[in-house]
Structure 1
Amino acid sequence: MALTQGRKVQERGGKQHGHPVAANAVIHAGALVVLAAGWAAPGRTGAGADNAAKAADAATLQVVGVAEEAATGGPANGDVRVRTRAGCFLFDNLSTDAVTRADIGKACFLVDDETVAKTSPNNTRARAGIVDDLEDTGVWVRVGAGR
């Protein structure tokens, strides 16, 4: 129902969130973090036996931000949590599929937990975020909520 008067707004604190880690996943501090079936894992391309399987897997990956700390998942999903932060971060640019200045404002795609690329061949790479800027050392990418 629409408001008829002011209300107290509840806000989830900033751009920092905690996510349960996938079993045995190793997430390094500063890594791009994805949710895979709801569990935090290091960023990666789609997995599977062929491009169709890789594309289907990549479509399920959701980038949630960058790990603020290292975390190693326990024997079961959710035994450990990792803090992530959404925002604009500098990542490596894949030299064989490089993001360029013409891509500023466009999506870029995950290669691994520290590298992004311009395209997603056969849709096997998940969307990393929006290209914000480029430097000689890498690509500034807006990742996480609100990207």
Structure 2
Amino acid sequence: MVALTKGRKTARFAGGGIRNLPVAAAAVCFTGGLAIAAAGFARPGRQGQGGDNAAKAADAATYRAVGVFMEDVTGGAANGDVRVDIQEGIFLFANSAEGDAIAQADIGRPCFIIDDQTVAKTNPNSTRAVAGIVQEVGPEGVWVDVSLTNSALAA
């Protein structure tokens, strides 16, 4: 391999960071909400579900943050009856509270999903999936780089 000696045209994957995924049955997805793929189907970001922490952790382990919803959509009667566009990129989310709040020192580190608009510093009992990588923190919230690649690598 040899380093570039002049400019070149570089191919992009997925049309510049827009994905179109099938939606989980009956999932209610709102424009701008954090989107996850759960078993391959899009749904709003959430913590792991189940009767105890082990079940919640097993559920959360199947989630991958993929971006934000580009439109309001509700899943049909079965998984995949409806599809939705999702944009990857750096987005602003609400910061968690007090001891779980993301701080300036957390820039460059992964943060974790609480819901489709809130991220947190910690992952208690492994019941939260990675939202993405913290880019900036301010009084307005947390800027997070959300993509399937970041979610998978940081998990």
TM-score by length of 2: 0.87
Poorly superposed stretches of 4+, deviation over 4 Å: none
Confirm or deny that 1:129 pairs with 2:137. no
> 1:14-93 counterparts in 2 under 5 A?
14-93=16-95
Give the match's secondary structure for 1:63: strand
* Cα shift at 1:65: 0.5
- Name the counterpart of 1:4: none
* Larger helix percent: 2
CA distance in 2, matches of 1:100, 1:27: 28
CA distance in 2, matches of 1:11, 1:53: 35
CA distance in 2, matches of 1:69, 1:33: 11
CA distance in 2, matches of 1:51, 1:145: 25
CA distance in 2, matches of 1:110, 1:125: 6
* Cα shift at 1:9: 5.6
* Cα shift at 1:113: 0.3
**Cα RMSD, aligned residues only:** 1.4
Confirm or deny that 1:142 pairs with 2:145. yes
- Percent pairwise identity: 56
* Cα shift at 1:11: 3.7
CA distance in 2, matches of 1:40, 1:60: 12
Gaps of 5+ in 1: 1-7
- Given the superposition, is the C-alpha separation of residues 23 and 57 from structure 1 closer, same or farther in structure 2, using an over 3 Å criterion? same
Gaps of 5+ in 2: 1-9, 151-155
- Conserved in 1, the CA contact under 8 Å of 2:57 and 2:125? yes
